[in-house]
Amino acid sequence: MKNFNKSWGQLLFGLFFVSFLVGQEDTSLKNAVNNSDRNINYSARDEYRNPYETLSFFRIKPDMHVLELAAGGGWYTEILAPYLKNNGMLSVTHYSAEAGGYYKRSREAYDKKVATNPLFDGIEVISAEVPPTKAYAEPQSKDLVLTFRNLHNWLGRDAMSEVMQEAYNVLKPGGLFGVVEHRAPEGSGLEFMKKSGYVSQSLAIETAESVGFKLVDASEINANPKDTADHPRGVWTLPPSFRLKDTDREKYSAIGESDRMTLLFKK
């Protein structure tokens, strides 16, 4: 009985210790999110994008080598780069300026931020085509690959599986792939998804699993039940895009940003 009580006590202590670790806050990540040097227009979106909760769900650690796919204007880069700067590494993919037009303007704006904004210090910027024409990074070199609201762009170019395959290729065995995307109602057709900017959760999971990923978990961190996903200009009707400009602006402001899936996969 004495040995039984000792074993039971050790088990309870182990469970308590694990619970304690799970419940611990990542102070460094909190600081990166709450950094007053962030773009004020970006930090204003935190209530919809929940960066601390989202990155915690993706199991990010400050010593990881992370690849952010299609970094856009750098909303998440502002958080990731300072967080990873001292002990980890952040690489991002972005448009090639040689593509011209919008792609050139977007890349040049991003490069300017890298050159002038201290929050972007230490990152590696990779020119990446969609669909990929070459490997985005060294195979099995990353601990975590992240993408935020980009699946619809890849789907629109019939390249979602190819980009996910690149994510799979660059990850170390056991590496993680975190995805946030505007969520289409289940049963939505492909044409609707391409036009609206929303992607069904089942299609996202099916595509990721088709290249070798296994779904670890799904979260409602970024869900928005007010979003019906049937807007005149698709997801861009909602903030922050407001494609209808002042038309029904109050209505769409009240809805807020899109309903989003948050998925975690493992290689």
Q: Split the chain (267 residues) into runs of 10 and give each run's mean pLDDT.
A: 43 43 79 97 97 98 98 97 97 92 94 95 95 95 98 97 98 98 98 98 98 98 98 98 97 98 98
Cα 150 off chain centre by = 8
Prior bond of 232 cis (ω within 30°): no
Report the CATH fold assignment for 26-266. Rossmann fold (3.40.50)
Q: In the 3-class helix/strand/coil scheme, how is the chain assigned residue by residue?
A: CHHHHHHHHHHHHHHHHHHHHHHCCCHHHHHHHCCCCCCHHHHCCHHHHCHHHHHHHCCCCCCCEEEEECCCCCCCHHHHHHHHCCCCEEEEEECCHHHCHHHHHHHHHHHHHHHHCHHHCCCEEEECCCCCCCCCCCCCCEEEEEEECCHHHHHHCCCHHHHHHHHHHHEEEEEEEEEEEEEECCCCCHHHHHHHCCEEHHHHHHHHHHCCCEEEEEECCCCCCCCCCCCCCHHHHCCCCCCCCCCCHHHHHHHCCCCEEEEEEEC
Say what the pLDDT of residue 99 is: 85
Return all residues near 17 (Cβ < 8 A) that are at least 6 apart.
none
Q: What residue has token string 């309870």?
A: 12
Nearest to 172 by CA among 81, 70, 66: 66
Convert 143-158 to b/e letters by CB count within 10 Å (16 or more is b).
bbbbbbbbbbbbbeee
- Work out the end-to-end distance of the chain between its first and last CA atoms, rounded to an integer number of angstroms: 44
Rounded Cα distance, 126 and 75, in Å: 17
Are 143 and 65 in contact by the 8 Å Cβ rule? The answer is yes
Measured CA to CA in angstroms, residue 112 lies from 47, 79, 94, 100, 239 at distances of 27, 17, 13, 17, 25
Measured CA to CA in angstroms, residue 225 lies from 6, 53, 204 at distances of 48, 18, 19
Q: Which two structure tokens, joined as six digits, stand for 11?
A: 């088990």
What residue segments make up the domains of the chain, in order of their start?
A: 26-266
Q: Which two structure tokens, joined as six digits, stand for 257?
A: 């940003």
Number of C-alpha atoms within 13 angstroms, CB side, residue 98? 4
